[in-house]
């Protein structure tokens, strides 16, 4: 049977980048459907909530006989890796699989969204985006009673992001946790070329995106030769892979 993948995503979203990089490294063809999460808040439209009830990107659909809908970036990248076709993104041994899973979870738990809202070059713009999401969730919740609960959750998420991004204690704790996770990655990379031994795996997919976001946010000393030499040279190597540009990994701010 033939797979036909469509990825609903946004260029600057970290979660979307994880999915894009997994698809490119797997080497499967996919159709892009951009969702505007900055200006029009398209992720909150009822048609999209039918695909992704949380109203977030990314979502992957796989039309293969019947259409499968996969949400959550960590689930999507594992789904992509499980496909029979394309490049192997999973390690051979069970032990290495477990180590890979641990590193994926570690990366997935770094709250890059709060850090992104907290370090947005324009705090005002970041606040406007979150306000627009809250307003739209409340308005659409009234208009579409069948999605009332879903919109409540969306509004609460944006409100939480709005408050926590300016809470120095909360942001400081996330930074501390992120730094500890980086130390773990550093000790892995001091021993091998990739996070899991000598082959590229899903752990490399997710960590490449994490490092690119930390670079974009200006955490330069975290990816520097002085602090984390193994991470610094590893990240350079990951940036040189063809997939980095093919997946449109963003490591600099741009206006759109
Ligand atoms: N855990 C989810 C998080 C998805 C998520 O929060 N996506 C963000 C962009 S990175 C989003 O769509 N935000 C829009 C919103 O909160 O309204 C995943 O990894 O897929």
CATH number assigned to the domain comprising residue 218: 1.20.1050.10
Residue 2's pLDDT band (boundaries 50, 70, 90)?
confident
The answer to whether residue 252 is domain-embedded is no
Residue 256's pLDDT band (boundaries 50, 70, 90)?
low
Residue 126's pLDDT band (boundaries 50, 70, 90)?
confident
Using left for φ > 0, alpha for ψ between -120 and 50, and beta otherwise, residue 36 falls in beta
Angle subtended by helix axes 202-216 and 94-108, to nearest 10: 20
Residues 30 and 134 in one domain: no
Give the tokens for residue 254. Answer: 């741009």
Final residue belonging to a domain, choices 82, 102, 128: 82
Mean pLDDT, residues 236-253 taken together: 95
Asked whether the CA dihedral 86, 78, 64, 12 is positive or negative, the reply is negative
Percent of the chain at pLDDT exceeding 70: 98
Residues 17 and 134 in one domain: no
- Kindly list the protein residues whose Cβ atom lies closer than 6 A to any atom of ligand 1: 13-15, 37, 43, 55-58, 72-74, 113, 133, 157-158
Q: Which of 56, 73, 74 to mutate to test the pocket of ligand 1 (most atoms within 8 A of CB)?
A: 56
Residue 255, pLDDT score:
64
- Ligand 1 mean position to 57 CA, how many Å? 5
The answer to whether residue 89 is domain-embedded is no
Residues 233 and 118 in one domain: yes
pLDDT at 155 over 90: yes
Question: Which runs of consecutive H residues, i.e. helices, occur in 144-251?
Answer: 148-164, 168-189, 202-216, 229-240, 242-246
Final residue belonging to a domain, choices 21, 55, 82: 82
CATH number at residue 17: 3.40.30.10
Domain count, the chain: 2
- Look up the pTM and report it: 0.96
Nearest CA to ligand 1 atom 2: 72
Minimum-distance ligand 1 atom for the alpha carbon of 113: 10
Nearest CA to ligand 1 atom 15: 56
The answer to whether residue 87 is domain-embedded is no
Residue 120's pLDDT band (boundaries 50, 70, 90)?
confident
Residues 54 and 102 in one domain: no
User: Which structural domain range is residue 64 located in?
Assistant: 5-82
How do residues 193-216 score in pLDDT, each as one tens digit? 999 999 999 999 999 999 999 999
The answer to whether residue 193 is domain-embedded is yes
Residues 196 and 170 in one domain: yes
Nearest CA to ligand 1 atom 19: 73
Nearest CA to ligand 1 atom 11: 56
Residues 10 and 30 in one domain: yes
Residue 125, pLDDT score:
81
The answer to whether residue 30 is domain-embedded is yes
Residues 102 and 207 in one domain: yes
Residues 77 and 125 in one domain: no
How do residues 70-105 score in pLDDT, each as one tens digit? 999 999 999 999 999 999 999 999 999 999 999 999
Residues 22 and 108 in one domain: no
Q: Which of 7, 9, 11, 15 to mutate to test the pocket of ligand 1 (most atoms within 8 A of CB)?
A: 15
Residues 114 and 29 in one domain: no
Residues 112 and 155 in one domain: yes
- Ligand 1 mean position to 158 CA, how many Å? 10
- Ligand 1 mean position to 2 CA, how many Å? 29
Mean pLDDT, residues 22-38 taken together: 97
């Amino acid at each position: 049977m033939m797979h036909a993948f469509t990825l609903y995503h946004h260029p600057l979203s970290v979660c979307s980048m994880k999915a894009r990089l997994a698809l490119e490294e797997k080497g499967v063809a996919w159709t892009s459907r951009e969702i505007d999460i900055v200006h029009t808040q398209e992720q909150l439209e009822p048609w999209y909530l039918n695909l992704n009830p949380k109203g977030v990107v990314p979502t992957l659909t796989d039309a293969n006989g019947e259409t499968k809908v996969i949400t959550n970036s960590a689930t999507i990248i594992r789904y992509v890796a499980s496909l029979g076709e394309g490049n192997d993104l999973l390690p051979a041994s069970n032990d290495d699989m477990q180590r890979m899973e641990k590193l994926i979870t570690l990366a997935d738990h770094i709250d890059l969204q709060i850090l992104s809202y907290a370090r947005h070059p324009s705090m005002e713009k970041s606040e406007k985006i979150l306000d627009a999401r809250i307003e739209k969730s409340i308005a659409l919740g009234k208009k579409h009673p069948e999605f009332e609960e879903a919109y409540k959750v969306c509004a609460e998420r944006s409100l939480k992001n709005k408050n926590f991004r300016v809470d120095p204690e909360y942001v400081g704790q996330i930074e501390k946790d992120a730094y500890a996770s980086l130390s773990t990655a550093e000790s892995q990379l001091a021993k091998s070329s990739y996070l899991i031994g000598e082959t590229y795996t899903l752990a490399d997919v997710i960590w490449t995106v994490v490092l690119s976001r930390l670079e974009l946010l200006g955490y330069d000393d975290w990816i520097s030769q002085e602090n984390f030499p193994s991470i610094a040279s590893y990240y350079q190597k990951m940036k040189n892979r063809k997939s980095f540009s093919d997946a449109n990994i963003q490591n600099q701010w741009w206006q759109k």
